[in-house]
A and B are shown apart, each in its own frame.
Chain A
Amino acid sequence: MIIDLPRFVTAERAYWDELHAVLAKMEAEPERRLALGEIERLHYLYERCSSDLSRLDTFATEPGLRAFLESLVSRAYSEIHETRAPVKIRWKNAVRAFPRAFRRHLGAFRLSVGVTLLGCAFGWFALHVDPRNKAILLPFSHLRMTPSERVAEEERAKADPLKGVKASFAAELMTHNTQVTVMALAMGVTFGAGTLMLLFYNGVILGAIATDYIAGGQGVFLAGWLLPHGSIEIPAILLGGTAGFVLAGALIGWGDRTPRVERLRAVSADLVAIVAGAAALLIWAAIVESFVSQYHQPVIPYGLKIAFGLCELAALSFYLGWVGRE
């Protein structure tokens, strides 16, 4: 179709300018609800500009004009055809969104737990077969000595081992554990292989430590040391793994005929809710690890630490299992 371009632009410019103004207002105030009349007008302007754009399709025109109309139509399209509500970050909603997202993906969480337990079993087996494997599995300075030696040293200590570095130690733990959790999610993009390896490795370390201390007769010390922060930290990392497996599931899409883009779109809000929730848990876990876990009997009795850890675990289970139920 041949068109008189100057006349075409003169006739349509008012509609383009109006649509541009409407869109700018909508983009500046995404939460604003339009009145019926405004919606009808927006739809009319969108269709008119779409029609103008399609008229240009059959005609080689000045590239700037086509780009201008494409920009307008694409902006209007995204506003009109988007079915997801604009995000409203409200604490009440955020507190409920996390457990709801968790419950929607219980299968992935079970897989996370299963892989970690498998790693634990491997750690136990490796140490059981040859205790010298400890040096390979646990390359951490404070875990090199025997459990009995460490317990004796910790209980003998008169001075505060973390005096003057508690806050910075907590900050290091927070950032490190959050990085591990984010990595567990991000590795889901390797179709879950990276997440699986990361959780398995964590499980191996956990299993090896548990085997070492229980075999050394220091099970109570271990529980008192690990439970106060571990009852939150370990589930948080498992939740990161859960998010990774959910991402992997959406990428692979077993038996799901929905396009991959749609599958990913469907889980993206849940992934963010789970990882944000896990990061919040890790802030608490780091504070507890720095200010509570590193203090042993006689400063804090083991019974009290174990009870504290179990209470945290119960509270977390209640939160994830019941909060936000309809």
Chain B
Amino acid sequence: MSEGRATSLVIETPEGVEFSYDLASPVTRALAWLVDAAAIMAITKGGGKLCEWLGKVNEDWATAIAVILYFVVSVGYGIVLEWRWHGQTLGKRVLGLRVVDAQGLRLQFSQVVLRNLLRVVDMLPIAYLVGGLACFFSRNCQRLGDLAAGTIVARVRSPQTPDLEQVAPAKYNSLLAYPHLAARLRSLASAESVSIAVRAVSRRDGYEPLARIELFRELAEYFQSLVEFPEAAREGLTGEQYVMSVLRVIYGGGRG
């Protein structure tokens, strides 16, 4: 693997604001390609059946149509769908991926065509070996077609406004009864630790019961080591409840 291979592509706008794209891994891309290959096979198979039927009328023309259909579908599938669906094919939709411009600009038709035409090289010698290796070794997981077209394949993010109630519900919060300690906690809690706590809360229902208790106990101990609230504020709170109270303090939700 190349040194420092990125998992996201950060773009800084002229206004000085940074946004990022989560790069799709070679494995996810391969799975999307398998879905697309199946779709192409289904379309050509359907077309082939139609041509068989046409063959009863004129075999020569039916064969010609079948040959052209296979070629057009295998080359045009990616071009048409990525253009019409804003960088997505069926496989990319299923896997939640999207082709985007590597500089964050609007994806152009010429880029879509170029990255799809260069598949002929990426597919060499078999099963996308060249493209897969290029993807594996390039910093932004780009196959040769992506490098030439200036595109990347990114994971699609949900455009839904987030539900803050999940991590910071507006409930009574015993820690807020001590505003000076709450302010101290806000200033001492690192961005990384809060992010870990948020992820832990978001995913808590998926953990094994014992692992869940252990994880939140450790997180609670960490936050307690930053600021020690009086026993009265912590009384009756499990590790998980304590971590959620800490998040409410940091996000400003809840009532004291």
**Interface of A toward B, CB cutoff 8 Å:** 2-7, 9, 13, 16-17, 20, 27, 47, 50-51, 53-54, 57, 59-65, 67-68, 70-74, 77-79, 81-82, 84, 86-87, 89, 164-168, 170-172, 174-175, 178-179, 182-183, 185-190, 194, 247, 251, 261, 264-265, 268-269, 271-272, 275-276
* Residues of A contacting B37 in the complex (Cβ-Cβ under 8 angstroms): none
Question: In B1-55, which residues have CB < 8 Å from any A CB?
Answer: 11, 13-21
Range for the number of chain B residues in contact with chain A: 35 or more
Docked CA distance A27–B168 (Å): 34
Docked CA distance A166–B61 (Å): 8
Q: A5-B168, A6-B253, A171-B67 are in contact. Are A82 and B15 (CB under 8 A)?
A: no
Give, as a whole number of angstroms, the nearest-CB distance from A23 to chain B: 9
Known A2-B252, A78-B104, A189-B118; 18 more pairs at CB < 8 Å: A2-B250, A60-B191, A60-B194, A61-B194, A62-B198, A63-B199, A67-B158, A78-B106, A78-B107, A87-B110, A167-B63, A172-B67, A174-B68, A186-B119, A186-B121, A189-B148, A194-B121, A264-B150
Q: Are B64 and A167 in contact (CB under 8 A)?
A: yes
* Residues of B contacting A77 in the complex (Cβ-Cβ under 8 angstroms): 11, 13, 19, 104-105
What are 7 of the A-B contact pairs (CB < 8 Å)?
Answer: A2-B250, A3-B252, A6-B253, A16-B161, A166-B60, A186-B120, A269-B110
Docked CA distance A82–B119 (Å): 26
Contact partner of A272 (CB less than 8 A), chosen from B65, B86, B109, B193, is: B109
* Residues of B contacting A54 in the complex (Cβ-Cβ under 8 angstroms): 16-17
Check: B225 CB closer than 8 A to any chain A CB.
no
Q: Are B121 and A57 in contact (CB under 8 A)?
A: no
* Residues of A contacting B75 in the complex (Cβ-Cβ under 8 angstroms): 182
Give, as a whole number of angstroms, the nearest-CB distance from B138 to chain A: 13
Task: Report B98-110 CB contacts with A as 1/0, cut-off 8 Å.
Answer: 0001111111111
Give, as a whole number of angstroms, the nearest-CB distance from B44 to chain A: 13
Q: A4-B251, A78-B104, A168-B60 are in contact. Are A264 and B15 (CB under 8 A)?
A: no
Contact partner of A168 (CB less than 8 A), chosen from B64, B158, B250, is: B64
Docked CA distance A4–B168 (Å): 11
Q: Are A164 and B60 in contact (CB under 8 A)?
A: yes
Check: B186 CB closer than 8 A to any chain A CB.
yes
Q: Which of B161, B191, B202 has the most CB of A within 10 A?
A: B161
Q: A54-B16, A65-B162, A168-B63 are in contact. Are A271 and B110 (CB under 8 A)?
A: yes
Q: Are B195 and A60 in contact (CB under 8 A)?
A: yes
Give, as a whole number of angstroms, the nearest-CB distance from A65 to chain B: 4
**Interface of B toward A, CB cutoff 8 Å:** 11, 13-21, 59-61, 63-65, 67-68, 70-71, 75, 86, 101-111, 113-114, 117-121, 144-145, 147-150, 157-164, 167-168, 170, 186-187, 189-195, 198-199, 202, 250-253
Contact partner of B117 (CB less than 8 A), chosen from A16, A50, A182, A194, is: A182
Docked CA distance A5–B191 (Å): 14
Leading 7 A-B pairs by shortest Cβ distance: A4-B252, A60-B191, A60-B194, A64-B162, A171-B64, A167-B64, A168-B63
Docked CA distance A179–B67 (Å): 13
Docked CA distance A54–B19 (Å): 9
Q: Are A74 and B19 in contact (CB under 8 A)?
A: yes
Q: Are B120 and A59 in contact (CB under 8 A)?
A: no
**Nearest CB to that of B67 among chain A residues?**
A171
* Residues of A contacting B192 in the complex (Cβ-Cβ under 8 angstroms): 60
Docked CA distance A103–B177 (Å): 76
* Residues of B contacting A174 in the complex (Cβ-Cβ under 8 angstroms): 68, 71
Give, as a whole number of angstroms, the nearest-CB distance from A15 to chain B: 11
Give, as a whole number of angstroms, the nearest-CB distance from B97 to chain A: 14
Contact partner of A78 (CB less than 8 A), chosen from B17, B101, B147, B164, is: B101
**Nearest CB to that of B68 among chain A residues?**
A171
Q: Are A68 and B158 in contact (CB under 8 A)?
A: yes
* Residues of B contacting A5 in the complex (Cβ-Cβ under 8 angstroms): 164, 168, 251-253
